[in-house]
Amino acid sequence: MSQRQVLQVFEQYQRARTQFVQAVAELSARPQNAESLRSAGTWGAVGGRGGLWGPGPQFVGNFFTDGNQEAAAPCDHLGLGVAVKNCRFYKKAAAFVLRAVGKHSPQLAQAVVQCGALESLVICLEDFDPGVKEAAAWALGYIARHNSELSQAVVDAGAVPLLVLCIQEPEIALKRIAASTLSDISKHSPELAQTVVDAGAIAHLAQMILNPDAKLKRQVLSALSQIAKHSVDLAELVVEAEIFPVVLTCLKDSDEYVKKNGATLIREIAKHTPELSQFIVNAGGVAAVIDCIGSCRGTVRLPGIMMLGYVAAHSENLSMAVIVSKGIPPLCTCLVEEQEDHIKAAAAWALGQIGRHTPEHARAVAVANVLPTLLSMYMDTHSSEDLQLKTKRALKNILQKCTYLPALEPLLQDAPPNIMKHIVGQFSKVLPHDSKARRLFVTTGGLKKVQEIKAEPGSLLQEYINTINNCFPEEIVR
Partner 1 sequence: MNPAPPSPGRSPGRLRRSAHTGPGAGGGRAAPQAPAGRARKRLGPRQEGGRHHLSPSPAPRRQHRAPSSLTAPRRLPGPSPRGCRCRTRSPRGAGPSRGRPGLPAGGAGWYGPLPWRRRRRAGGGSGGSMAALARLRARLPALREECFRRNRCVDEDRKIKYKAAVKIQSWFRGCRVRAYLRHLNKMVICIQKRWRGYQSRRYFRKIVKIQKRWRGYYVRKYIHNYYALKKYLEAVSVNNEIVRNELQEYAEMNENERKKKDQEKKEKEKKYQARKMHYLLSTEQIAGIYNSPFRKSPDPMELLLRQSKPLSHRQQQVKSPFTDELYDWPTCKRPPTFHAGEPLPPIGRQKPQGPFCDTAEVLRQRYKPLEPTLRVAASIDSPLGKARAEMKREEWRNHIHDNEFLPFSSYHKNEKYDPSIHRSGKYGQETYGIKHFREVQPNKWVTGKDFQTVSPSIVLFEKFGKTYSRCGQIV
Q: 221 and 250 in contact (C-beta within 8 Å)?
A: yes
Residue 379 beta carbon to partner 1: minimum distance, rounded to whole angstroms: 35
Alpha helices in 126-171 (DSSP H): 130-144, 148-156, 159-167
For the bound state, the minimum distance from the C-beta of residue 58 to partner 1, rounded and expressed in Å, comes to 6
Alpha carbon separation from 363 to 188, 328, 368, 398, 405 (Å, rounded): 42, 12, 9, 9, 9
Give min distance, CB of 341 to partner 1, in A: 31
Strand segments, DSSP code E, in 181-296 are: none
Which stretches of 356-416 are DSSP H helices?
359-367, 371-379, 385-401, 405-408
Least distance CB 290 / partner 1 (angstroms): 8
* Minimum CB–partner distance for residue 149 and partner 1 (Å): 30
| Residue 310 beta carbon to partner 1: minimum distance, rounded to whole angstroms | 17
CB of 93 to partner 1, least distance (A): 7
Of 177 and 395, CB closest to partner 1: 177
Alpha carbon separation from 103 to 143, 215, 249, 291 (Å, rounded) = 6, 20, 33, 37
- CA dist 454 and 456 (Å) reads 7
User: Minimum CB separation from partner 1 for residue 182, in Å?
Assistant: 18
Output 32 or 254, the one with its CB closest to partner 1.
254
C-alpha count within 13 angstroms, C-beta hemisphere, residue 427: 34
* Class of residue 272 by CB neighbours under 10 A (exposed 0-12, middle 13-18, buried 19+): buried
Measured from the CB atom, the residue of 113 and 123 that comes closer to partner 1 is: 123
Please, are residues 343 and 386 in contact by the beta-carbon 8 Å criterion?
no
Q: Which is nearer to partner 1, 43 or 90 (CB)?
A: 90
Q: 26 vs 236, which CB is nearer to partner 1?
A: 26
Beta-carbon neighbour count of residue 69 at 10 Å? 14
Query: What residues line the site for partner 1 (CB under 8 A)?
Result: 11, 14-15, 18, 22, 25-26, 29, 55, 58, 62, 85-89, 92-93, 96, 131, 134-135, 171-174, 245, 248-249, 251-254, 281-284, 286-288, 291, 317, 320-321, 324-325
Provide CB contacts within 8 A for 328, sequence distance 6+.
351, 354, 364, 365, 368, 370
Nearer to partner 1, 129 or 340 (CB): 129
For partner 1, give the closer residue by CB, 62 or 373: 62
Give the max Cα distance, the chain. Answer: 128
CB of 286 to partner 1, least distance (A): 7
Q: Which is nearer to partner 1, 172 or 477 (CB)?
A: 172
Q: Which is nearer to partner 1, 62 or 383 (CB)?
A: 62
Cβ(184)–Cβ(145) under 8 Å? yes
- 307's CB contacts (< 8 A; 6+ apart) are 263, 266, 267, 270, 271, 289
